[in-house]
Structure 1
Amino acid sequence: MPVNKQSGSRMRVTEVEEFVRNPPPGFSVETLGSGYRVRCNEEKSLVLIDDFQSCGKKIVFHNSLGRKVKMHNLWEYSSTRKSLLSKEIYLLISACEEQSSVSNKKAARELSVVKQYVVCIDGNEPFTKWQLERGMDGTISSVTGESYRVDIDLTEEMESWAAKNLISDDLMKVKPVWRDASFTLKYYSDALFDFPHWLGFSKRTFKLRMT
């Protein structure tokens, strides 16, 4: 399967193995005894990838903020927002297959990872930038007065991409289930009586469209 297949011109999807073997411009890979350390140009790239294992090797993205970005004051929020709206955003997303098993007379479903992908979206691309701005503005009522959590979801876009590039190529026998196809912004206010957050009312989700 060709790597770096795109959804329109707004999303790039690259198998992890290919990303490490042939990193894109602005990235470099250092081989370690236990795995790899990946570095990037932080002025152009915003990496939101936790440390992970691939083919028995540990892969660490240096200076990554992780998939869940925590902010504790207005400066941190403003800095994160600026990065999201001006840089290429990199995520790790896994294609999984469901496996059914029976334990203690109860059916349980387990997910088996088939492939892992580094997915890139350009936060500065006009349509993507508009979605991010609208989504954050619509879910964050007051970053100085209350805590909140917002998930930015790419599941539907990965499903659309898979339909064109995985299932149509007969590389997967079943429709994949996508894991970690989102990233999270968490803002922690110092308000003493943050009732919406305590009661779970300050959790929001919005979906990004690439087509």
Structure 2
Amino acid sequence: MATGDSINKANLGRLNSTRSVMTFSSVGSDILSTVTTANCEIALLPLKLLTELQPNYLTLEDGVLTSNNYSGGFNLFSDDTALIDGRKCRIINYIQRKVTLRSHSDYKDYRDTLLAKPMLFIANAKKLNSDSTSAKTFAIIVNTRHPQIRDKLEGGMNSAISSVMGENYQLQFTFHNNVREYLQKQNFELTEDNLNFSYTFKLDVFVDFFYLFGLSKKNCDMNGKILNLYCTNNSRKERVKLFLSKMTNPLIRMGSSLDFDRRPSVFSLDMIMEDPFLQEEEVNDIAPVLPLNS
């Protein structure tokens, strides 16, 4: 008969054996059968898997990651380059994580852009308690169609405007703490602090003491339920591919015409007003999205 110590040692051995492999838990079929774009706040999966499932919008070739978002796709936030599975890669077509807006028109364009497409961030993480220095590159997708995410973004921007005393202010949104806590449950730790973006609204005023002394600099810590979309099974990949396609396909504003008189902007603008993929029965049958532990 096995003793308690021997059972514990056997369980610990199996646990260490599992954790010795640098893998990530896979999305379950039960989650795939209930999840819709409407109840996904934040999605997470390996970047290479995302490029495999969304080749029309993301390509990774010869050390260059290209985002094609002129008709759907993602708003990719970056700083020119990114480490992708240990290799420094150049990024083509992205939004700078730190921008300066110098007019109310710039602010409106930027705000519309943030809400027009899912946000995409690239982050690296390595296994906890591991001697290996290799890291896995993840794609973090923020679903701006989700009402809670949308409300938090709009609320943060509105709050920043109403609370500043001077003409200039700075607002930063960060997802770092939320993603860090989730990855820790998966036995990973972030190796970068780049899951954030900020804008500075700066007008030509002589002196703005509130801004100079940091009184007009605000931070908005974003939180949301994270859905793990990692999968290796081909049938699950097809389900995840369909899910991502519904999230990234361009949406047409119903009952209105496009505004061709708008001033051209450095930001890509195709404002999303409603989601035609979401049927009424889906709204009434939304299942909670729970994190998947390794």
Report 1:196-211 matches (<5 A): 196-211=210-225
**When you count helix as a share of all residues, which structure comes out higher?**
2
Instruction: Structure 1 unaligned segments of length 5 or more: list them.
Output: 100-111
Contact 1:98 1:177 in 2 (8 A): no
1:69 and 1:23 map into 2 onto residues whose CA distance is 30
* 2:36 is the alignment partner of 1:36: no
Contact 2:78 2:94 in 1 (8 A): yes
1:160 and 1:53 map into 2 onto residues whose CA distance is 21
1:30 and 1:115 map into 2 onto residues whose CA distance is 15
The Cα RMSD (Å) is 3.2
1:112-144 CA-to-partner distances (Å, cap 9, x unmatched) read 77333221112222111111111111112389x
* 2:109 is the alignment partner of 1:79: yes
Matching residue of 1:105? none
* 2:77 is the alignment partner of 1:48: yes
Deviation at residue 55 of structure 1 after TM alignment:
4.1
Change (3 A) 1:129 1:113: farther
Matching residue of 2:199? 185
Matching residue of 1:18? 49
Matching residue of 1:156? 177
2:119 and 2:49 map into 1 onto residues whose CA distance is 18
Residues paired across the two proteins, number: 188
Query: What is the TM-score normalised by the length of structure 2?
Result: 0.55
Deviation at residue 148 of structure 1 after TM alignment:
1.6
Counterpart residue identity of residue 76, structure 2? V
2:103 and 2:27 map into 1 onto residues whose CA distance is 37
Matching residue of 1:139? 160
Query: What is the TM-score normalised by the length of structure 1?
Result: 0.74
2:27 and 2:205 map into 1 onto residues whose CA distance is 45
Contact 1:153 1:183 in 2 (8 A): yes
User: Per the alignment, in what secondary structure is the counterpart of residue 93 of structure 2?
Assistant: coil
Runs of 4 or more above 6 Å deviation: 3-8
User: Per the alignment, in what secondary structure is the counterpart of residue 145 of structure 2?
Assistant: coil
Over alpha carbons, which structure has the higher Rg?
2
Matching residue of 2:275? none
Q: Between the two structures, name the one with larger relative contact order (CA 8 Å, sep ≥ 6).
A: 2
Contact 1:3 1:13 in 2 (8 A): no
Contact 1:89 1:120 in 2 (8 A): yes
1:203 and 1:62 map into 2 onto residues whose CA distance is 30
Change (3 A) 1:148 1:42: farther
Which of 119, 128, 133 aligns to 1:89? It is: 119
User: Per the alignment, in what secondary structure is the counterpart of residue 210 of structure 1?
Assistant: coil
1:26 and 1:163 map into 2 onto residues whose CA distance is 32
Change (3 A) 1:208 1:25: farther
Change (3 A) 1:96 1:148: farther
1:135-175 CA-to-partner distances (Å, cap 9, x unmatched) read 111112389x62221111112321342144x12xxxx4xx5
Change (3 A) 1:203 1:37: same
Report 1:62-77 matches (<5 A): 62-77=92-107
1:128 and 1:26 map into 2 onto residues whose CA distance is 25
Which of 124, 149, 152 aligns to 2:145? It is: 124
1:21-60 CA-to-partner distances (Å, cap 9, x unmatched) read x15264131523xx12312223432111221233454323
